[in-house]
Amino acid sequence: MIEIENLTKKYKSLVAVDNLSLRIKENECFALLGLNGAGKTTLINMLSTVLLPTSGTAKIGGFDIIKNPLEVRKIINISPQETAVAKNLTVRENLNFIASLYNITDKEEKINNIISKLQLQEKANIRCKNLSGGQMRRVSLALGLISQPKVLFLDEPTLGLDIKARKILWETISSLKGKMTIILTTHYLEEVANLADRVGIISHGKIKSVGSIEEILKNTGTKNLEDAFLSITEEEV
């Protein structure tokens, strides 16, 4: 589904993503791990056509991110770390606005279905500025799902949430597995263990290790993902 070839992003002397190549399979949940500043968000911004690479390219669903950005945008969506929810609109109004941008047919039915799926029925007509952090994260995820994307980018989807709110989101993400390609960035290794089919560990803009958790543990000679992650990124600590 995603083919990345020698993707690079430079900011003057800073190389945020460094000649990165990677393959992500259709309908897999791929977790991207890295310390702050490792290049995760820059990579996602390039794949989602928000940011142009300095060199290299990538294809998503066969469409080149540089040559065919409009086609790429039709099949992807993103639930960003900094939520894009319009706080003065209700949950339903937010979803209606995004659905209109995508010219979605059967809009009301799809909005009702996603409100139910994310357990937001009681909050559907509440202005988002009055929601809790966990509820806002669910709305952000709903906005990412309303277009029924083939590829969904989840950038720190449970950051700062309590255990109950995190569990609800985990259950929702789990229910999406096998139905779309999911790219997940997170600092919660428990989240990776519960959700990811494969893991890529990025350091200094390069993919240093990729595979299932079992493969990464075997390759690093470690007993858990935390130790494997620390051993791979130790030069950054």
Tens of pLDDT, residue by residue over 97-118, are 999 988 888 899 999 999 998 9
Between 172 and 211, name the one with better pLDDT: 211
What integer is the mean pLDDT of 210-234? 94
Q: How many whole angstroms from its chain centre is CA 35?
A: 16
Structural domain harbouring 53: 2-84+151-236
Query: Is 129 within the bounds of a domain?
Result: no
What integer is the mean pLDDT of 20-42? 95
CATH number of the domain encompassing residue 207:
3.40.50.300
| pLDDT at position 237 over 80 | no
What integer is the mean pLDDT of 29-56? 95
Percent of the chain with pLDDT over 90: 79
Q: What is the pTM of this model?
A: 0.92
Please, what is the Cα angle at 155 between 118 and 18, to 5 degrees?
160
Query: Is 53 within the bounds of a domain?
Result: yes
| pLDDT at position 80 over 80 | no
Task: For the chain, give the mean pLDDT.
Answer: 93
Residues 6+ apart with CB under 8 A from 100: 107
Closest of 54, 36, 38 to residue 46, by C-alpha:
54
pLDDT tens for each residue of 184-212: 998 889 999 999 999 999 999 999 999 99
| pLDDT at position 214 over 60 | yes
Q: What is the model's pLDDT at position 235? A: 62
Query: Is 19 within the bounds of a domain?
Result: yes
pLDDT confidence tier of residue 236, bands split at 50, 70 and 90: low
Beta bridge partners of residue 211, listed in sequence order? 199
Query: Is 226 within the bounds of a domain?
Result: yes
Q: What is the model's pLDDT at position 82? A: 61
Q: Give the total number of structural domains in the chain.
A: 1
32: burial class by Cβ within 10 Å (0-12, 13-18, 19+)? buried
Residues 6+ apart with CB under 8 A from 150: 1, 61, 75, 76, 180, 181
Query: Is 93 within the bounds of a domain?
Result: no
Query: Is 119 within the bounds of a domain?
Result: no
Query: Is 181 within the bounds of a domain?
Result: yes
Between 220 and 81, name the one with better pLDDT: 220
Query: Is 219 within the bounds of a domain?
Result: yes
Q: Alpha-carbon distance 85 to 87, whole Å?
A: 6
